[in-house]
A = this chain, B = another copy of it.
Amino acid sequence: MLKLTRKVEYALIAVRHMQAMESGKLTSAKEIALSHGLPQQLLAKTLQKMAKENIIEAVQGPSGGYRISSNSDKISLKDFFEKLEGPLGMMDCYFDSECIQLGACNIRTPIQRINDNMRNMFSKMTLREATQ
């Protein structure tokens, strides 16, 4: 319960790897995967997703790769998580109002209260803070 996914885990590892690189230098999916013992294909997908979301920059072709994006400093942990995994709710009903109950729901308010707190916490932490 309340676990991160591997995708996010790998993303964090990759971010730290890129932050540790000399400024502007590229690194590849292969390089990160090998040096941390991660499944390359899965990591590659995660990197592609991060590139699409402008967390990192991608350069194609041989001698291409990825580097950390400059605006990654501003991104919150909440946004980081949501860009990778979609809306961040402890229960699905937080967003799509598909209540699991027949109609006698008595936890909508509690769930929202708890979830708001969690989202608020992750909004206040930046990716930079968390990974530095």
Contacts and interface: CB of A to CB of B under 8 A. Distances in A.
A113 interface: yes
A52 B53 CA distance: 47
A31 to B, nearest CB: 12
Given A35-B104, A37-B104, A101-B37, A118 B12 contact: no
Interface in A1-44: 1-6, 8-9, 12-13, 16-17, 20, 35-38
A114 B77 contact: yes
Interface string A69-89: 000000001000100010011
Interface residues of A, number: 43
Contacts of A102: 36-37
Given A1-B85, A2-B118, A3-B1, A13 B107 contact: yes
Interface of A: 1-6, 8-9, 12-13, 16-17, 20, 35-38, 77, 81, 85, 88-92, 100-107, 110-111, 113-114, 117-118, 121, 125, 130-131
Contacts of A16: 106-107, 110
Contacts of A88: 1-2
Contacts of A114: 77, 125, 130
